[in-house]
Amino acid sequence: MMPETDLSATAAIFGGPPEESQAPSTRAYRTRKSFAVVHFEPAGRGRIVFLPEGAEVRVVGPSRVCECFEVAFENQLYNIFKVDLLGPWASPIKASRIKPARALAMGACA
């Protein structure tokens, strides 16, 4: 079970439209420590959760949250700071080791 904290979506700092060029060339990472990330529910309410040490995340693309990437972990989308994902506490892994999260986009098609 991951600890969580509620966060109003209005409290988040959003940047401009995401640029595809911001996405890293390596698409999957394993965390070497627990990281705080933000998960937004369909209603727009955000909450802070902690991904566990050893979590394998797949980069989905840039985030609308400043200085973050959107990543998939256990069929959920999260926003993680670029400095955390690209820093010394996360290791790139081969994308073939991570199962694609096919169901993630289905919630956006309503």
Q: Please count the structural domains in the chain.
A: 1
Joined together, the tokens standing for residue 29 give 């990472």
Q: Is residue 8 part of a domain?
A: yes
Q: Any idea which residue has 């919630």 for tokens?
A: 107
CATH of the domain at 92: 2.30.30
Q: Is residue 104 part of a domain?
A: no
C-alpha to C-alpha distance for 10 and 12, rounded to whole angstroms: 5
Q: What pLDDT does residue 79 have?
A: 97
Q: Is residue 48 part of a domain?
A: yes
Question: Is residue 66's pLDDT more than 80?
Answer: yes
Return the percentage of the chain with pLDDT > 90, whole number: 55
Q: Is residue 76 part of a domain?
A: yes
Instruction: Decide: helix, strand or coil at residue 89.
Output: coil
Closest CA to 73 of 110, 43, 30: 30
Q: Is residue 106 part of a domain?
A: no
Cα 48 from chain centroid? Answer: 11
Q: Is residue 71 part of a domain?
A: yes
Residue 17 structural domain: 4-99
Mean pLDDT within 27-49: 93
